[in-house]
């Protein structure tokens, strides 16, 4: 991380380290949200938008209070391996710059 920041400060283009960080960061984010959804089980599945608004909602939400936002969070982080250059593209950058392929 520090190498990338130093190179940027010097005006250099990011090297393969940036690709490594992007891949590892997205894998960690996706793994964490997957673990959260697995830990709460079926209580992550219900989608009750009325429970978030609290208008016209007089029923208890299904499961614990922290459950309803977990599934949307999980699905939102699925896109992390695509935006900013897909992980496959990042792996190609690493292969070309480090392995000369």
Predicted confidence (pLDDT) per residue in 35-82, tens digit: 999 999 888 876 666 666 666 667 776 778 888 788 888 999 888 888
Q: DSSP 3-state assignment of 30?
A: helix
Number of CB atoms found within 10 A of residue 18's CB: 20
Instruction: Give the pTM.
Output: 0.67
pLDDT at 47: 66
């Amino acid at each position: 991380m520090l190498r990338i920041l130093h190179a940027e400060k010097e005006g250099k283009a990011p090297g393969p380290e940036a690709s490594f960080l992007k891949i590892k960061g997205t894998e960690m984010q996706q793994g964490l949200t997957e673990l959260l959804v697995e830990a709460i089980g079926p209580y992550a599945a219900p989608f009750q938008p009325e429970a978030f608004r609290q208008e016209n909602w007089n029923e208890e939400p299904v499961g614990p209070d922290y459950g309803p936002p977990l599934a949307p969070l999980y699905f939102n982080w699925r896109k992390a391996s695509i935006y900013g250059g897909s992980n496959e593209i990042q792996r190609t950058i690493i292969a070309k710059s480090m392995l000369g392929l």
